[in-house]
Structures are given as structure tokens and as C-alpha cells.
Structure 1
Amino acid sequence: MKKFLTISLSIILACFGVAKAQVTGTTSVHVKLVDILALTVNNSDVNINFNNASDYQNGVTVAMPGHLTVTSNQPYTLNVKAAGNLAGTGANTDVLDPSVLTVALPTTGNNTTLGAVPTTASGLSTTNAALVTSATPGLLKLLDVNYTVPSSVSTTSALLGKKADTYTTTVTYTITQ
């Protein structure tokens, strides 16, 4: 009898089609993007030392690997400029024109994934000079920078005849999207 009731109940349920209840809900997902742009100079001092005759004859380059860290979610331009003349210390009234400096992003090392060809700011000035334009977006991207006083400058009165001293200016980098 029990078997008969179970089979009968199964047949009745099959005939009337017992459906499972189903409820759904929806939501809208919003992904909001904002432009991000950040620049960090990782070494606060760059020392270009002229220690011997060879330095004056050949010029001096100081490579600064990972000198800058850039974050940008859009293609960006990196500019460089000097605040003004490189001034001596103390009573030294000699100055060096900022054009004695060349700043470059080498095409090697950390700079191989810029997505754009870097340029050189030969003869730095107080006006922005582009080091790279339309660089590929990236997060915490390290950039290598070379600072140079080339022999075309170091063998001239731009350096020769100046008092022995440490001459200083501020170099400013600016990134824009």
C-alpha cells in the first residue's frame, strides 16, 4: 500500500508539474575611472664632479637609474627645466649658465617600455623641454635619467676660468596628460 501511494503521488505530481520557485534580482555595476598622475624624484641630489683634466676634456655624464617614478593612467609628457643659473657658494659670485647641463632619458634600461622615443634636453634652460611625449601609461614606472656636462661645454669658458666650487640649481620635472 505504501508503495502504491508513493507511485500514485509521483504520477500526480508529474501530471500537474510541480515547479520550483525562482526569484531573480539585478544590479547595475559602475566602474568609475579618474585620471591619476604622479611623479616622484627618487634622488634629491645629483653630483657631476670634474676631478681631473680628463673630465674637462671628455665631459662628465652621471647615470641615475630609476631616478624618477611616474604613474599615469593616460599617455603623458615629461618635461624638464632649470630654476636658473647654477650659483656658487659663499662669496663666490661666479655662476654657470643652466645651458651647461644636458638631461636625457636613455633608450636603455628602465626606459625601453616608454612607448615613445625619448629626447634629450641639450642646454637646459628655464623653459620646459620635453624629454618624452605621449609615453605609454603605467603605474609606478621607473625612469632612468642621464645628467651630462658635455665636452663641447667643459672645454670652453662656460666652465674654464670659473672658481673651484660646487655650483647648484634646482631642476624641475613636470608631467602632463
Structure 2
Amino acid sequence: MKKTFFLLIMLAGVFTAQAQVSDNATVNVKLYPIQTIVVNPDNKVVNLDYKTTTDYQDGVNVDKKDHLKIYSTGGFEVNVSAAGDLTSSDATKNISAADIKITASAGTVNPLTSTTSNTYKSINLSNTNQLLVDNATGGVNKTVSVNYAAAGADAYVDKFINGENPTVYTTTVTYTISPK
């Protein structure tokens, strides 16, 4: 009986010792900043067409709905810049990038949540980055609409180049997203 009792105590000690063995693991969730911006493929070319005398007098503008699609893991800023002035086939003539006014607004599909934490700007293009959208929170595939406008007051009457129909002045506009 003593042997059986002793054997039971020994077995209980072995099982108890094993039950008290433990170890830890650390679980980390690592969140890295991700910002992407995509110009709507259907709107990669923006044409500001002057076809009537009223266009030359009043200027023209084009709305590009949902022009930009943004993914950001936190607050962000969207800046815009032009590669330079708008140039044509005649190197002696150009249109100042500053003549082009760009205005951001909420997109129509999945817009940024309307709060005091986001700001849409209106700027005249330049070859340096300018703040166009400022948002304090992140978002998934949020859209921003953009209006492009060019000068009136007959500013471009003397910019037509004979033999071209139409005369085209062009520059590249770059949108850049960065975390805030």
C-alpha cells in the first residue's frame, strides 16, 4: 500500500510538473504606410478646347469626375505640379502653366468623408508642387474630382499657329501623394 501511495504521489508530481511548464510568444501587428494615387485611365488626357469666340472670351473648363483614386493607410496630402509651361510645335510660343487653374472636389463614387479634417484646394499650376488635397485620415479607393480651367479675355487669340488645326499646347501634370 505504501508503494502504491508513493507511486501515485510520484506520478502526480510528474504530471503537475509538466502542467506548469509554459512559454510565451510575442505577436506584432506591423502597419506600414501605404499611399497610392491613380489618375482615372479614362481621363488621362484633358482637352481644353477653344472652338467659339465665346470660348476665347470666357475661357473654358472641363470637369473630370472621379479623376483621382486614392488609397492611404493614414492622413495624406496630394500635391500637383506641371512639367513646365505648355508648349507647341513652335518653340517661340507657349502658354504659361499658371494660366491653368485646377480645382479639387469630392468624387462622386466613394468620396472622402466630408469633415473638417479634409480640404480641397484650387490652385494655378506651376512647376513646383502645390497642395491640392489635405486629409487627416486614411481611406480605401477614395475619389477626387478635378476641374481644369484655362484663361478667357481672348488671352490665346494670337497663339494659333497657321497650318495646324488645331494648334495644341501641352504639358504633363503630376499628382503626388505623401503621408501626413
TM-score over 0.5 for the alignment? yes
Give me the whole-angstrom Cα distance separating, in 2, the residues matched to 1:112 and 1:34. Answer: 21
Identity of aligned residues (%): 34
Residues 39-62 of structure 1 deviation map (CA, whole Å, 9 limit, x = unaligned): 111232111111101112222111
Partner of 2:66: 66
Q: Is the 8 A contact 2:37 2:71 kept in 1?
A: yes
| Matched-pair contact (CA < 8 Å) for 2:57–2:154 | no
Superposition pairs of residues 10-21 of structure 1, within 5 angstroms: none
- Structure 1 residue 33 and structure 2 residue 31: aligned? yes
Which residue of 2 is the match for residue 100 of structure 1? 99
Gaps of 5+ in 1: 1-22
Distance 1:125 1:167 in 2: 15
Match of 1:52?
Answer: 52
TM-score (norm 2): 0.73
SS of structure 2 residue aligned to 1:169: coil
Instruction: Write out the 4+ residue segments of structure 1 that deviate beyond 6 Å after TM superposition.
Output: 23-26
Residue 159 (structure 2) pairs with residue 162 (structure 1):
yes
- Structure 1 residues 44 and 107, CA, compared in 2 at 3 Å: closer, same or farther? closer
Q: CA deviation digits over 1:76-118, x for unaligned, max 9? A: 01111111011113x4631101011011112563545264121
Tell me, in whole angstroms, the C-alpha distance in 2 between the residues paired with 1:135 and 1:49.
36
- How many angstroms does 1:147 deviate by? 0.6
Paired residues, what number? Answer: 151
Aligned to 2:9: none
Which whole-Å CA distance do the structure 1 matches of 2:171 and 2:96 have between them? 10
Over the residues paired in the alignment, what is the CA RMSD in angstroms? 2.4
**Structure 2: runs of 5 or more not aligned:** 1-18, 162-166
For residues 135 and 27 of structure 1, what CA distance do their matches in structure 2 show?
35
